[in-house]
A and B are shown apart, each in its own frame.
Chain A
Amino acid sequence: MQFKVNSFTDFKKRLFSHNIIVYIALVIIFAFFALTLGSTFVSVNNILNITRQTAMISIMAVAMTFVISAGLIDLSIGSTAAMSAMMVSVILRETNSIALALAGGIAVGVVVGLANGLLITKAKIPAFLTTLGMMGIVRGFAMWITNTAAVPILNPNFNFIFGTGNIAGIPVLLYWTVVFGAVGYFMLNKIPFGKHVLATGGNETAARFSGVNTDRIKIAVMVLSGAFAAFAGILYAGRMQAGRFTFGEGDELSVIAAVIIGGTSMAGGTGAIIGAITGSFLMGIINNGLILAGFTVSQQMIIRGAIIILAVAIGSRYSHFKSNKSAESRKAN
């Protein structure tokens, strides 16, 4: 494709059609903090720290990209992460088997996802309400399982692999982020499943009329979301070397924000995995920068909220621009 300098609209179209607004925002905000905070922000240590803090959000954002592009929403991921962390820590305490702990943790996510999927497709309850209810139910179980007590994890191998470890100077959490990002990217872009997800979210009737089993796709997407959230819970447990029922509180909103900022449309039918991960990093950088700049927690919340609104507003200006454009071209045809 030729790049034409003389046509600004062309440039704008290219700019936005690749949903690169999130990358531009990342560069600008990174540069801003780098200039104002100097070496406390731009140090290898701090950057790696940001990747540790954002790994769970990134992994859940990968799955949430599938959920939102299928036209659904999942509010139960934060609770699922907490329940999975509790399950893992309890199994480790009882058996000290990493394999069993992993299986138990992931099973939590699969069960929650399956329940969500079946309620959405078979009982026809909207995803928002299904997962809103599930959010409370699962968090309740996470509190119940040990009567709200935290469970320490004393298995150093588990803590190394799923939390605190570094390999070749790079945190294991970053490796996990890359692995799950790659799996998500592959699933969304390279295999039929991804296209079926996008078609289901873009126009469910047309997808069904094309032979796509849209119910099965929706169930699969919710199970994926549950499983990824459960894995995020395992990473929380590893990083904190404990299971706590408070893990992941409010994560669902950070994750949804990251996915939307990353260029996935809330209306369904489009999805950007790398954008979602970048969105997560963007949020991580903002959190980190605001703390280093010495803002109080209340100030951080206000600024973070404003930045999210701004980023989404810029993103949706693009979709406005696109729909105007298409209306005009339709007429011209």
Chain B
Amino acid sequence: MKPILEMKGIDKSFNGIPVLQKIDFSLGEGQVVALVGGNGAGKSTLMKILTGVYARDSGRILLNGKSVNFSSYADANRYGLRMIFQELSLVPTLAVYENIFLNNEIRKGFTLDKNKMIAQTNELLESLGMRFSPNVITAGLDVGYQQMTEIAKALSAKAKILVLDEPTASLSDSEVKVLFETIRNLKTQGVSMVYISHRMNEILEISDQVTILKDGKVVADESAKNLTVADMVSHMLGGSAEKRFAWTPRKNPPTTEDMLVVQELKINGLDTPISFNVKKGEVVGIAGLMGSGRTEILETLFGIRQYTAGKIAVDGEEVKIKNVSDAVNAGIALVPEDRRTQGLVLTHTVKHNAILPVLNRIKSWVMIDEKRADAIVNEKVSELNVKTDSIHKTISLLSGGNQQKVVLGKWLSSEPKILLLDEPTAGIDIGAKGEITDIIRNFADTGNSVIMVSSELVEMMAVCDRIIILCDGKITGEYTRENIADITEEVLQNAIQG
């Protein structure tokens, strides 16, 4: 296949530190090439160079065989390159058609030609297999449809090459199916795509070619047909991570004593009352699709969401959880689903994020004991292997994996008995994932309990002592350790589909 796009010998360094070294990358017409690598491997930097956001230090970019230089993202747009961002770049208060034609409005004389824009939006949406009204306000759409709007926007500007950055990160399984259909559809129309994702199975399903980066170098460039998930993981990590994804027996197995008993809990937003228990030292997974009620259960236990009936008992004592303080006092901590909007104050330092929940416990008289605060944070930073030059560094400058370790650390320093984890490894690289699963297990080994919700079933199977199946707000099954050993991801996947 003749490549439509070629990047040859791309070099880039920041402050003298090489981030990309002699990268070769090519994309054929109507081809989907997956770009794989851990956080810091250089994927985003490479794509920023491709779309004109950064200037390369050396190397060439060829578009249809002709050498090109993009001075800005707008410049790259003119050549038909578009990035579909992880954080959607739509204006939530505008209608779908207004977003699609933003800054590219069709006019009739001096006024907007609304009818023509709506008609063209309809055509675009239809070509993507979508059926929703162009007049809908964007904020009212599900994330999946917002993403389709974003793709439609790119296509309306005659994009020939799309860069999809983690497009499925916030999509439900059915939305992913729709997205993949769209991608296949676009391929037949000759649109080429670069697909960035942490989800290996999806990559194998949707891409033709896989380019794997590690430490700013290309370590593999192969047809997706010839690769397995294990191959990709070993390329990314140099073969060190397999054991992290296989079950290893617990140092201290769970006890038979109850840590948490939830009885007939009637949760706002769920129809059926929920009952389950967690033993001391046990790691329990709640497997379910997005929207199955898994987040609602965790938020209720943490006092963010209210319950109207039922009982919660922690360590043998009944507790009433009406707000977060009640939950924290009962020894419960939550690592929320979205670390950027719920877990961290991004403009603050590592230290101030890490000590926020324990500030009231580290007072000497009324003042914050800064020395003790520093000591606690330094201890957590080294214990959890957070990579930062200083605890006084602004946390937005850390990579996703390290940010997540700070979120974990801030709750571990409050010494909880029960740790609730909502998608603890979402959007972080495999190396950091392994470290986080180790942290979870160490926490449980000391007699504490963990409830974990994750979309990465393989990961749950490797970490949890028991997995509860949640389907449409009902508990429909349970796998204990002995059973988990016998089942495959497929079995579990089918179970949560209901």
Give residues in A with beta carbon < 8 Å to B: 186, 190-192, 195-196, 198-199, 202-203, 205-213, 269-270, 326, 328-333
A209 touches B368 (CB 8 A): no
B368 touches A192 (CB 8 A): yes
Distance (Å) between the CB of A208 and the closest chain B CB?
Answer: 7
> Which residues of A are found within 8 Å of B19, using beta-carbon distances?
331-332
B347 touches A195 (CB 8 A): no
9-residue interface stretch from B158-166, B323-331, B378-386, B445-453: B323-331
In the complex, A198 Cα to B353 Cα: how many Å?
Answer: 11
A210 touches B347 (CB 8 A): no
In the complex, A270 Cα to B352 Cα: how many Å?
Answer: 12
By beta carbon, the residue of chain B nearest A204 is: B345
In the complex, A213 Cα to B17 Cα: how many Å?
Answer: 43
Q: Does B410 contact A (CB under 8 A)?
A: yes
By beta carbon, the residue of chain A nearest B329 is: A211
Number of interface residues of B (CB under 8 A): 43
B360 touches A269 (CB 8 A): no
A/B pair count, beta carbons within 8 Å: 94
Give me 5 A-to-B residue pairs in the complex whose CB atoms sit less than 8 angstroms apart, sorted by A's number.
A192-B363, A210-B357, A211-B357, A269-B345, A332-B17
> Which residues of B are found within 8 Å of A192, using beta-carbon distances?
359-360, 363, 368
> Which residues of A are found within 8 Å of B302, using beta-carbon distances?
209
B342 touches A191 (CB 8 A): no
> Which residues of A are found within 8 Å of B398, using beta-carbon distances?
333
B348 touches A199 (CB 8 A): yes
B54 touches A269 (CB 8 A): no
> Which residues of A are found within 8 Å of B15, using beta-carbon distances?
332
In the complex, A213 Cα to B357 Cα: how many Å?
Answer: 11
Distance (Å) between the CB of B35 and the closest chain A CB?
Answer: 14
A202 touches B397 (CB 8 A): no
Residue B347 contacts which of A207, A208, A269, A333 (CB distance < 8 angstroms)? Answer: A269
A206 touches B352 (CB 8 A): no
A212 touches B368 (CB 8 A): no
A206 touches B344 (CB 8 A): yes
A326 touches B396 (CB 8 A): yes
> Which residues of A are found within 8 Å of B363, using beta-carbon distances?
191-192
Q: Does B367 contact A (CB under 8 A)?
A: yes
> Which residues of B are found within 8 Å of A195, using beta-carbon distances?
352, 355-356, 359, 368
Docked complex: B277-306 residues within 8 A CB-CB of A: 302, 304
In the complex, A330 Cα to B327 Cα: how many Å?
Answer: 34
9-residue interface stretch from B3-11, B38-46, B197-205, B230-238: B38-46
Interface of B is mostly: mixed
Q: Does B434 contact A (CB under 8 A)?
A: no
Residue B397 contacts which of A208, A210, A333 (CB distance < 8 angstroms)? Answer: A333
Contacts A195-B368, A203-B344 given: A328-B14 contact, CB under 8 Å?
A: yes
In the complex, A205 Cα to B336 Cα: how many Å?
Answer: 10
Residue A329 contacts which of B323, B345, B397 (CB distance < 8 angstroms)? Answer: B397
> Which residues of B are found within 8 Å of A186, using beta-carbon distances?
367
By beta carbon, the residue of chain A nearest B410 is: A210
B345 touches A199 (CB 8 A): yes
By beta carbon, the residue of chain B nearest A215 is: B323
Contact flags B313-340 to A (C-beta < 8 A → 1, else 0): 0000000000111011000001010000
Q: Which 6 A-B pairs have the closest CB atoms?
A: A202-B345, A192-B359, A333-B399, A332-B14, A203-B345, A210-B356
B341 touches A206 (CB 8 A): yes
Most buried by A among B17, B54, B346: B346
B324 touches A198 (CB 8 A): no
In the complex, A333 Cα to B17 Cα: how many Å?
Answer: 11
A211 touches B324 (CB 8 A): yes
> Which residues of B are found within 8 Å of A211, using beta-carbon distances?
324-325, 327-328, 357
In the complex, A332 Cα to B398 Cα: how many Å?
Answer: 10
Distance (Å) between the CB of A234 and the closest chain B CB?
Answer: 26
Residue B352 contacts which of A198, A329, A331 (CB distance < 8 angstroms)? Answer: A198
In the complex, A91 Cα to B399 Cα: how many Å?
Answer: 60
In the complex, A202 Cα to B334 Cα: how many Å?
Answer: 20
Distance (Å) between the CB of A6 and the closest chain B CB?
Answer: 14
Q: Does B343 contact A (CB under 8 A)?
A: yes
Contact flags B75-102 to A (C-beta < 8 A → 1, else 0): 0000000000000000000000000000
Most buried by A among B346, B356, B357, B398: B356
Residue B367 contacts which of A191, A203, A270 (CB distance < 8 angstroms)? Answer: A191
By beta carbon, the residue of chain A nearest B396 is: A326
